Structure 1
Amino acid sequence: MTHPAGYPLTLLTGPPGIGRSRALRGWRDAAAAEGRPVLEVRLSAEDRHEPWYLAGRLLAALTPPPSRPAAGRPRPGAAEPPAVALTRALRAHPGLTVLVDDVQWADPESVTELLGLLPDVARAPVRWVATLRTGPRPAPGPAAAFARLCTAGLARAEPLRPLTAAESDALLSRLLGATPNDALRTVLRRFSRGRPAALIAAVEGYRDLVRVVDRRAYLTDPTAAPRLPDGHGLLRPVRDLPPGTRAVARALSVLEALEADVPALIALALDLPVPDVHAHLAALRDEGLAREHRHGWRIATAPLAAALTGALGPFERRRLARIAVEAILGGEAVCGHPGFLPDQITIAGTLLDPEPARLLLRAHAIAATGRSPEAAARWWAGAARLSDDPGDRAEADQARAVADLLLGRYEATRAAMRRQLADRAALSPMVRQEAEQLALIGARAARDTDEVRRTARGEPAWPGGPEPSPVTRAGALALLNRWTEAARVLSGAPPSLAAENLAAQIAAVTGDPVEVRGGPARRGPDAPRAWTRRHRTGTAMTRFRLAAIAGDLAGAERVLADADLTVDVLPEPDRALHRWRAGRWDEALDDARFSVATDLTLVFHPAQCTLHRVAAEVLLARGWPARARALLENARADAAPLPHLLAPAAAELEWILGDPGAAARTVRDALAEAAAQGVLIGVDELRLAATELAMARGDAPAAKEAALAAPAPGSTAGELRAATAAMIAHRDAGRADTVLTLARRIGQPYELARTIERVVRWTGRRPELLAEAYDLLGALGAILHRSRVRQAMRDHGVTVPGRAETLAESERLLAALVAEGLSNRELAAATQSSEKSVEGRLSRLFTRTGYRSRVELAAAVLNGEHRIG
């Protein structure tokens, strides 16, 4: 960093965490590199109360040892005034650079004298650089003196700007070793507000809550605040506050959502006169710790607000919450934040009238279910604590357990349900069965396979636990992929909503209906309405999920409409399935990776493999086969149910990389696996893949056999796959229009593009439609598949639009495949070219980009230096 000409004094300004000390170190290093002597002084809050402290520090450092005074107040009786002594000492060190960190803590006497002598020592020349935390209001005298120096061209203020969005993202990627997803990026930006120190602190504070999947970082609990150590520099301004001002700041951190009513409520809480509260708030504003706006007051930054709230004692926090609740309900305060009131009711707890508070929390929790499981979990927990009715408390505990499952808090769910089941007499049969099932899902999600196996055998899942009901035992068998046994056990279970739900799931997976003894369930008189409503919603979402897995998007959307649900309220795993089928691939990929990162796939067990496939299929289509393979292997290693659902993507990966034999083995093994487990879901896709692979190797009899063995269509998607397999096996051009009509009917862009490609490849019909497939794949970002369609277009004389765009896309694909570590043989197979052609294209790419090897190019792609989209 170079010194700006003509400015003996430079003031580096900015809020806490903006990097003032780091910038000052830059000045030190620059001065050292120029051979200039450097004197550094760092100040603390207590130093401002010691007159002449800064001047004494400087004199102590600059005066020769025989006459060196102690730091602090100059020696009494000294013949020479401090300003004169300091001026003489500074002139004796020409070229000196004086660096003062945190000059806001300098004593007024020293500041006044130093600003006054600056014109005299500027000719030495001595350079002064100081950091000033914005916020603390400077004394009028020094502020006016500094302004005069600026006018005279002797001083300037240099505000340090916050990090730009791009700079924040780059720093985050380095800190995390991965690219943060949008939700994590938003949380960290809001916390840091462009201040590097705050960003670094937030990453450290979230370290245990960040998971990385496929080079993307995800926050597993978006409601958690980052944990900053007590001694962290960002919290220093809080520690430096006088006790009375600190108490007002703590109360403000809780009550700030009440805006204009905050001063009066703080006065009530702290038993202070309102004018005194205003004086403390003004002090906080002058220190840069609070902001006054047209609606009221707020703590200036998120780290400070979190530190202040965390410093409250339990009773103090509950009392402030009670004051807020009573003010809102009594009409004395207004709050525009919809979650503030139920949060404060939850915290205040029994300090409020329990029954009205419980009813309010229940209403808010029910409304938040699905939309915000984090809030629902908090509010159900608060409602349970306020209830003295065992049945009502059990319902609230179970609703909270469901929300906790959606948040990945599996051990908490399992522990809560075990406690509930210990008091069996207090639970109705329906509620007890629900608790068993939630405990089972919690065990599976926590990867406790032994507990699942004990339940499947009909044994207590833990010592002293209850024997599982038939429904719970059947659910455990399904989790272990023992679907035929699960159907048999379930057929002997008494009717219930849970049995209906599981029966529908088994039927969708196996293709065989399951008759539950006694017919359809009825809501018993002991079943709470909210409990029944939750079960009905759960049943609808299970049916939606299974339809989406099977490729029946229209059927899945009908289920949602019948249940009065929308896609936006679905949890991330279900949203991923819908968006994948609907062609919203960017969102689907992010939702699928988030579900894997947070282990949500373990709760949605029939969809676990499909969610891995979603991410893998998108990545493969975009030119990332190694990343796709890693996700597929991850699901296999996790013993995910229905592993044959991974096979279509796994087989296509092998085929694209030039190993049709491995692709055929993958499909064959998956068909055998599905047959052994007695499952039918996904078999139509496998039969279509087996048909196409057989035709590709010239084995028409095997292709016809595979097409003939395809299961009877149960949906338009199933009908499309069966018709496509028959068209390929017989090279039947007469079926082409039927196949295309079905592909358009299911409303899935990727399926339509691939169907067009198959029609042209196997029948030679409608080559002009390849342009439509090309556009569909372009909208999906499927550059690998697009390159293959582009080759087909050339083969059939269909014009490929945009030569420059095509060349750029080909280069992006080649760079991605190189970064994945593919051999030349695999590169040739993936791009449908020869190895010699690959070598030529790589040579041209290296020449254009300046990279000298595949290793350099791969490293540049992986670290973001070479952008490929």
Structure 2
Amino acid sequence: MSTRHPGTGTGSRADVRVEEVGALRDGAALGTTPLTVLAGEPGCGRGTVLDRLAEELTPSAKVLVLRLAKLDRTLPYGAMFRLLVLLGGDRAEEEPARRSVLAMLARAGETTPTPETVAKIATAVFALLRVQTPLVVLVDDAQWLDEHTARLVSALLHRCTAETPISVVATVRTGAGDDLSESPALRGAFARLRASGRAKSRFLRPLSRAQSRSLLTGLVSALPNDGLVSELHTAARGNPAALTALVHGYRKAGALRIIDRTAYRVERVDRPVATEDHPLLLAVTEAGGGVREVAETMAMLCPLGTAAPGLAATALGWREDDLRAVLDRLVAERVLVRQHDGGHRFRVPAVRDALLTKIGPYASRSLAAQAVQAVWSGSASVSDPDLVLDWITQAGSLVDTRRAADELLENGKRVLFTDGAKAERWLHATLSWVTEPPARTVVLMLLSAAKALHYRAAEAGDCARQVLCKHLGHLEPAEAQELSVLFISGLAARGDLGELAEIAAGASPVLPDDPALMVINRAYALVLSHRWIEARDLLERARAVWTGSNHITADFGTMFLAACGVVLGDTSQLHTLIAHPELWRSGHLPQYNIEQRRFEVEMLLQLGELRQARRLITDAGMPLDQLPGANLFALNYLGGDWAEAMELARRTMLGGTDPARPLHCLLTHCAIRILGAQGRLARARALAADSRPAGIQHTIDHAESTVLGGLGDTEGADALLYSAARSADAGGYLLGTEDLWADLARSALARNKQREGEHWVRRSARTATQLDTARAHQNHYLARAAVHREPASARRAAAIARERREVPYESAMTLLRAGLAGHRPERSWTEAYELFGEVDAWYWRGRVRKLLRDNGFAGPGRTETTAENERLLAILVAEGLTNRQLAVVLETSEKSVEGKLSRLFSRTGYTSRVELAAAILTGDYLT
């Protein structure tokens, strides 16, 4: 059975506090404890909990809500006046008594209340309240309750009985100056009520990581990935107000991006924080007495521990004792936390970050320089050495620039491969202090490499342009070649087709005029313009020119020529390189050897040769973390770990496409296939629309045609198939057409176009002969089996699929088609059903299950069938499909769909499509 979790994934603060709301609701409904005090940090969501509590209690009780502010403390009986006004005069017979009590309060407020007066007023007020029971009074920010009203609390609530159920739920802000300790009357009332068992307290704790995830999901209307959850949960320290403000800040700064309904942190944007409305920040920015200045200064210096107060006092020109007094106030306001060693930290890191953004540029530089000098002199230390390097970048010329440049350069090299953001930040700062051309060339090359390594091709190209234009004379030919490739990649990433065309024509004012380099650069520009045939022909014609050049230029030529062969249908050069690694001229150099193995693995993965790619990885002793994201995606896509594959696909797309790697373009069409196979049809189409401008056209069209076919749009699917064929022919592509010709053959057959079908079979045969891969051969056999009705061809295709069971999806599709072509349908479909299950291909699993049932074959049991049918239905509902579309996809009637939906909602407890979609999005839907 599925268990519904109310509120999961809806995103409001009350929803993530659902257990707390439930406990308060049950306690108030029972009426056994007249007073419950709910305490919590500023911004923890006390008010929103009361809002939801009011909603849930209103159907069964009269609910009055009092929201208090600091000024309410100054008006005697002010809160009681407001309560009686809220109580209303809707009962005419009670209006005289209510007016009499209001007058009594007005007179009593002019004098100090005596016990007799308190008892008299409590009796009169209780008489008004008890006739409207069950009554629940919700008081927000009860720390602002005036003393006169507070004196009535105990007397009133001690009068409550089972016959006159009155409950009060009051929230108080945790923090000196704001809690019950500052109201003697309220503190005394609470103590007396608790002693008699009539009061209890609860603390609203910070959100757990799971609750933060749920809140984030609602705020961004997408599933946040683990990295984003961890970063924001840590920065907000589980504080809902801080978390909400952070999301707004990230969005405003472009630091949050949604890909395939999943939210990610854009790492290249420095942490943006917009927490202006958070109570803790307001406690700083709206306070006088230099509180804001001290808080901002400590935001910069607090990592220096016990040395920070003295340095802050010096920076502000204060006496240290005076500054420590303000620090004590910030601790009392719960902005700061005093640590065991005597240092301080900010209770909510996001508040510190917000304060850092408010420091002016000169003050920021000055404080950073002071921090650096303290560390360099040994008078202070920090636990994170990288923080000192960031201070150096902020301080600029206010510190010893020679030492600063040396440290930043050394550490920029250290993190070059592991942390692109830091490497760029530190190397950029180094540039401002390095003026000698040779040294500047080194820094610019490192900066280009950092950007390129971390998939910032456009920015890497900009750096490369600077070096090529201003420092070409300081470069070796091999260095000039590498920078030329980075520069051309940057143009492609920016979509600068005009300059790419100039380079392809051999006319570039930026690139070196060395003949060999010119050939390679022209060829690369042609490749990135998808002019593969021209690139191959150029490289073949000028082979003698580039093979006689430096090792790097020669190897780029070898690589580009082999890649052209794979794309255009000649894999011989690739397999020669794999068999004879000595053909790589720079293979003896470790950094180039790794890149060459990566290239070979990538080409094999594009061809679907998973087993050979894995063997090459093992033989080369290559750790998987050395492979680019697109390669890791392909390994998981082919191998059947689709959850990991989609995570890698989204991360790769988040970083932007790498025009130097064709697999980046083919990655998208595989991701579309995954989504379509799982029934996520709307997401698949959205991804196709987003990716079409940048992708290899025929692969995107082909993948989307399958999705349209699933939606019943046969005409649209056929149109995309023809579009894919035209695009492939225009570019000379054979790569990515292996199953295209087979699908076109089946389409022709469905339209009774036998001769057309035979044409596509011939195309399929040529592709299989040229590529000579298992994928190409099995699709050729499937095309023959369908068009020529050859059982032997279906048997051959199925045999290849069974041999390739390590590629579950492609094998399952082949077995499905082989069964349709007449090859042992029951066995083929049963095997396909199992393989589709390995990758959670719910759409195709449902199709196979229906085939087994319609043909009278044994299928899965009733329980399994029901669960899988409901999961697929839930996924399709989450995709926004109408009942008519659901009927088409499920191959049933709209009336049947209505019945299925009714049973699904009844069994799971979800009450709407929105709730069901949220559960599917967050993974909370359970079968």
Change (3 A) 1:431 1:238: farther
Q: Is the 8 A contact 2:79 2:149 kept in 1?
A: no
User: 1:444 and 2:507 equivalent?
Assistant: no
Measured in 1, the distance between the counterparts of 2:888 and 2:142 equals 65
Measured in 2, the distance between the counterparts of 1:503 and 1:222 equals 34
Change (3 A) 1:630 1:148: closer
Q: Which residue of 2 aligns with 1:19?
A: 45
Q: Which residue of 2 aligns with 1:180?
A: 224
Partner SS state of residue 298, structure 1: strand
Measured in 1, the distance between the counterparts of 2:181 and 2:480 equals 71
Measured in 1, the distance between the counterparts of 2:324 and 2:181 equals 21
Deviation by residue 1:60-116 (Cα, 9 ceiling, x = unmatched): 99999xxxxxxxxxxxxx98448899969976877699987656689xxx76x7655
Change (3 A) 1:358 1:542: farther
Measured in 2, the distance between the counterparts of 1:329 and 1:738 equals 70
User: 1:776 and 2:835 equivalent?
Assistant: yes
- Alignment partner for residue 205 of structure 1, among 222, 244, 249? 249
| Per-residue deviation, 1:624 | 2.7
| C-alpha RMSD over aligned residues | 5.3
Q: Which residue of 1 aligns with 2:421?
A: 374
Deviation by residue 1:746-791 (Cα, 9 ceiling, x = unmatched): 8322223233334444452495464443223112110111123334
Measured in 2, the distance between the counterparts of 1:632 and 1:31 equals 47
Q: Is the 8 A contact 1:365 1:375 kept in 2?
A: yes
Change (3 A) 1:767 1:328: farther
Q: Is the 8 A contact 1:43 1:103 kept in 2?
A: no
Q: Is the 8 A contact 1:377 1:403 kept in 2?
A: yes
| Per-residue deviation, 1:644 | 1.9
User: 1:220 and 2:266 equivalent?
Assistant: yes
| Per-residue deviation, 1:246 | 5.6
Change (3 A) 1:302 1:660: same
Q: Which residue of 2 aligns with 1:586?
A: 643
Q: Which residue of 1 aligns with 2:174?
A: 134
- Alignment partner for residue 748 of structure 1, among 802, 807, 810? 807
The number of residues matched between the two structures is 822
User: 1:43 and 2:70 equivalent?
Assistant: yes
| Per-residue deviation, 1:300 | 1.0
User: For residues 360-439 of structure 1, what are the structure 2 equivalents within 5 Å?
Assistant: 361-362=408-409, 364-401=411-448, 403-404=450-451, 412-413=459-460, 416-424=463-471, 428=475, 431=479, 434-439=482-487
Change (3 A) 1:642 1:167: same
| Per-residue deviation, 1:585 | 0.7
- Alignment partner for residue 729 of structure 2, among 661, 664, 675? 675
Deviation by residue 1:652-702 (Cα, 9 ceiling, x = unmatched): 335545566765664454344323323332233334444555667774744
Measured in 1, the distance between the counterparts of 2:438 and 2:776 equals 45
TM, length-normalised to structure 1: 0.77
Q: Is the 8 A contact 2:877 2:913 kept in 1?
A: yes
Change (3 A) 1:120 1:758: closer
Q: Is the 8 A contact 1:648 1:685 kept in 2?
A: no
Measured in 2, the distance between the counterparts of 1:368 and 1:718 equals 43
User: 1:289 and 2:339 equivalent?
Assistant: no
Q: Is the 8 A contact 1:405 1:603 kept in 2?
A: no
User: For residues 472-483 of structure 1, what are the structure 2 equivalents within 5 Å?
Assistant: 472-483=521-532
Partner SS state of residue 708, structure 1: helix
User: 1:813 and 2:857 equivalent?
Assistant: no
Measured in 1, the distance between the counterparts of 2:346 and 2:567 equals 54
Q: Is the 8 A contact 1:421 1:466 kept in 2?
A: no
Q: Is the 8 A contact 2:331 2:337 kept in 1?
A: yes
Measured in 1, the distance between the counterparts of 2:795 and 2:64 equals 84
Q: Is the 8 A contact 2:445 2:464 kept in 1?
A: yes
| Per-residue deviation, 1:301 | 1.0
Measured in 2, the distance between the counterparts of 1:599 and 1:416 equals 18
Partner SS state of residue 228, structure 1: coil
Measured in 2, the distance between the counterparts of 1:35 and 1:806 equals 48
User: 1:263 and 2:312 equivalent?
Assistant: no
Measured in 2, the distance between the counterparts of 1:563 and 1:358 equals 38
Q: Which residue of 2 aligns with 1:190?
A: 234
Change (3 A) 1:365 1:578: farther
| Per-residue deviation, 1:583 | 1.3
Change (3 A) 1:204 1:292: same
- Partner amino acid, structure 1, of 2:176: P
Measured in 2, the distance between the counterparts of 1:29 and 1:824 equals 32
- Alignment partner for residue 509 of structure 1, among 561, 567, 585? 567
User: For residues 315-714 of structure 1, what are the structure 2 equivalents within 5 Å?
Assistant: 317=364, 339-340=386-387, 342-347=389-394, 358=405, 361-362=408-409, 364-401=411-448, 403-404=450-451, 412-413=459-460, 416-424=463-471, 428=475, 431=479, 434-458=482-506, 469-489=518-538, 492=542, 494=546, 495=549, 497=552, 499-500=556-557, 501-511=559-569, 540-557=597-614, 565-596=622-653, 598=654, 600-601=656-657, 603=659, 606-636=662-692, 638=693, 640-657=694-711, 666-690=720-744, 699=754, 701-702=758-759, 704-710=761-767, 711-713=769-771
Deviation by residue 1:2-42 (Cα, 9 ceiling, x = unmatched): 86858776544211211234456678999999889877541
Q: Is the 8 A contact 2:43 2:278 kept in 1?
A: no
Q: Which residue of 1 aligns with 2:3?
A: none
Measured in 2, the distance between the counterparts of 1:342 and 1:585 equals 40
Change (3 A) 1:315 1:817: closer
| Per-residue deviation, 1:141 | 7.1
| Structure 1: unaligned runs, 5 residues or longer | 65-77
Deviation by residue 1:822-847 (Cα, 9 ceiling, x = unmatched): 6889767754x5xxx43453243144
Partner SS state of residue 679, structure 1: coil
Q: Which residue of 1 aligns with 2:10?
A: none
Once the two structures are aligned, what percentage of the paired residues are identical? 29
User: For residues 787-806 of structure 1, what are the structure 2 equivalents within 5 Å?
Assistant: 787-794=846-853, 799-806=858-865
Question: 142-151 or 197-206, which moves further after superposition?
Answer: 142-151
| Per-residue deviation, 1:405 | 5.9
| Structure 2: unaligned runs, 5 residues or longer | 1-23, 86-108, 130-135, 161-165, 577-581
Q: Which residue of 2 aligns with 1:848?
A: 903
User: For residues 48-197 of structure 1, what are the structure 2 equivalents within 5 Å?
Assistant: 53=74, 80-81=111-112, 118-119=153-154, 131-136=171-176, 142=183, 145=188, 148-149=191-192, 150-152=194-196, 156-162=200-206, 168-169=212-213, 171-197=215-241
Q: Is the 8 A contact 1:589 1:614 kept in 2?
A: no
Measured in 2, the distance between the counterparts of 1:416 and 1:303 equals 34
Measured in 2, the distance between the counterparts of 1:421 and 1:441 equals 14
- Partner amino acid, structure 1, of 2:271: A
Q: Is the 8 A contact 1:551 1:581 kept in 2?
A: yes
Partner SS state of residue 217, structure 1: strand
| Per-residue deviation, 1:804 | 0.8
Q: Which residue of 2 aligns with 1:71?
A: none
Change (3 A) 1:777 1:42: same
Deviation by residue 1:144-186 (Cα, 9 ceiling, x = unmatched): 6466343355654443355566665554444323333333333
Partner SS state of residue 225, structure 1: coil
Q: Is the 8 A contact 1:119 1:154 kept in 2?
A: no
Q: Is the 8 A contact 2:778 2:814 kept in 1?
A: no
Partner SS state of residue 224, structure 1: coil
Change (3 A) 1:466 1:523: closer
Change (3 A) 1:540 1:18: same
Q: Which residue of 1 aligns with 2:106?
A: none
Q: Is the 8 A contact 2:68 2:141 kept in 1?
A: no
Q: Is the 8 A contact 1:354 1:387 kept in 2?
A: no
Measured in 2, the distance between the counterparts of 1:291 and 1:317 equals 23
Partner SS state of residue 627, structure 1: helix
